Copies of this chain bind each other. A is one copy, B any other.
Amino acid sequence: MSLVRDPSEIARWDDETDVLVVGLGAAGAAAALDAAATGAETLVLERAGGGGGTSAMSGGVLYLGGGTPLQQACGFEDSPEAMFRYLMASCGDAPDEEKTRRYCEGSLEHYDWLVEKGVPFKPVFYHGCSGEPPTDDGLVWSGSERAWPFCEAAEPAPRGHVPQMEHQAGPLLMQSLVSATEASPARVATGHRAVALVQEPDGSVVGAVCESFGETRNLRARRGLVLTTGGFIQNRAMLEAHAPRARRCKFRVGAEGDDGSGIALGVAAGGATLHMDALSISLPVTQPWGLKRGILVNGQGQRFINEDAYYGRLGEYALLRHDGRAWLVVDDAVFEKPDYPRELAAVGESPGELECELDLPAGSLDTTLALYNRHAERGEDPLFHKQADYLQPLSRPPFGAFDCTSTSSLYAAFTLGGLHTDPDGRVLDPAGDPIPGLFAAGRASSGLAVGGYSSGLSLGDGTYFGRRAGACAARNGAP
């Protein structure tokens, strides 16, 4: 059945609104709130029985900075410029400079908006084992800001803003945003799945065909339709087509609805995509952080990264550059019980015993450790520039290796590529022109990170650019 319909195929409109938002996760709520705030009639569709989506299953971290009240309360200095430099350096090969600039400059206002919508942040800094704190503290390190090479690009500051809830703050974030949406003039229709867009011969999108409890409903959008349907980590065919290596990750981060449906609708309507191969791949193997004193080695027994880099970078390097073959090697001095239940793949009285157990090439681990120790004794790491705090020779037997292979360990993946949008959320065609009436935000679109993921960027850009998409749709696409 076609993903795009001509208006002549629509016998009648079952409902209509100014702005139609498809999907009620973080981006959808933000779009609906700021569309409704302009006075535009707004209707939000959600295919599930209630709002929340993948955002509600997440850690709830929002990457914000530039000197927010929370950063200040916790005693950290930051600037939009430092944040911009970090993001441009860390977010993959070709991040969108204009979006990144606007996001950094708008971060303080966006923080205030979130607080106003009822998202609480406890003004306490959490320093410890994770980018998603087990406490209800508000601020954490959630990226590679202090790690090489990013520490050279910008003054580090912690920018992970976590709603006040223990262990996992996504549910609280979405409870706040969905409540705010329900309290707004926007209407919410759950159990509605958009299956096609209605597009005029001139290319304008003027509505959607939905399925709801076995019935087809045609919904007209007078001013604009905003796709906030999430990424495609749950769509096997799309992963094969665009990001085949994600299939090797055992843990796919996303609600069932992250099947790329909105991206497909946008593409069928002639929308261009960006960075469809880009992935966030987290490998949280250095929790607690003392384990950063170990070394990560690949299938050749070689180190391949500074172990103090953030999990998003560790996972990307291990999976994409080293085929998901990695082990974290420790000695008796740096051994700690890790947070994640990971298998201890091998123990040995010497590096040689360990490499034999792991079936690594003879002499490889011995060679790697000898070179690492020689430098670590002087507090140096000329290969990968790990911070001195985590540099100590690994020489006290027994030696152990934690299994960080993609076949056994936790690689948490979701997709970052999606529809090509401008900073106002307008979906662009391959010539760079907006498709009239069509908008997108959140992971249905390509956002700030196109690699090198720091926690909080998707909730951050999803809400920030979701707001802009909703407001621009309410303006009929006017800038």
Contact = CB atoms under 8 A, between A and B. Distances in A.
A382 B362 CA distance: 8
A342 interface: no
Interface in A351-370: 361-364, 367, 370
Contacts of A431: 1-3, 264, 268
Contacts of A269: 270
Contact of A430 (B6, B92, B267): B267
A339 interface: no
Interface in A252-276: 263-265, 267-270, 272-276
Contact of A384 (B240, B300, B382, B420): B300
A241 interface: yes
A73 to B, nearest CB: 38
Contacts of A303: 300
9 contacts: A1-B431, A242-B274, A242-B276, A265-B430, A273-B273, A301-B383, A362-B375, A367-B367, A367-B370
A420 B450 CA distance: 23
A4 B203 contact: yes
Nearest to A363: B371
Interface string A370-405: 110011000000111000000000000000000000
Interface of A: 1-4, 6, 8, 92-94, 201-203, 237, 240-242, 244-245, 263-265, 267-270, 272-277, 300-303, 320-322, 361-364, 367, 370-371, 374-375, 382-384, 420, 429-433, 450
A268 B8 contact: no
Which 9 A-B pairs give the minimum distances between C-beta atoms?
Answer: A94-B244, A264-B430, A361-B382, A277-B277, A93-B244, A6-B201, A321-B321, A300-B383, A94-B240
A300 B363 CA distance: 18
Given A94-B240, A267-B429, A268-B430, 10 more contacts: A2-B433, A3-B270, A8-B201, A242-B275, A264-B431, A269-B270, A273-B273, A273-B276, A320-B321, A363-B371
A291 to B, nearest CB: 22
A241 to B, nearest CB: 5
Nearest to A3: B431
Contacts of A383: 300-301, 361, 364
A305 B161 CA distance: 42
A223 B446 CA distance: 36
A275 B242 CA distance: 5
A8 B2 CA distance: 22
Nearest to A263: B430
Nearest to A266: B430
Contacts of A321: 320-322
Contacts of A3: 270, 429-431
A275 B2 contact: no
A203 B321 CA distance: 41
A117 to B, nearest CB: 33
B429 A268 contact: yes
Contacts of A371: 363-364, 367
A433 B350 CA distance: 59
A363 B429 CA distance: 52
Given A8-B201, A264-B431, A241 B363 contact: no
Contacts of A364: 371, 382-383
Nearest to A245: B93
Contact of A241 (B241, B265, B268, B275): B275
A153 to B, nearest CB: 15
Given A203-B2, A267-B430, A382-B361, A274 B241 contact: yes
A357 to B, nearest CB: 15
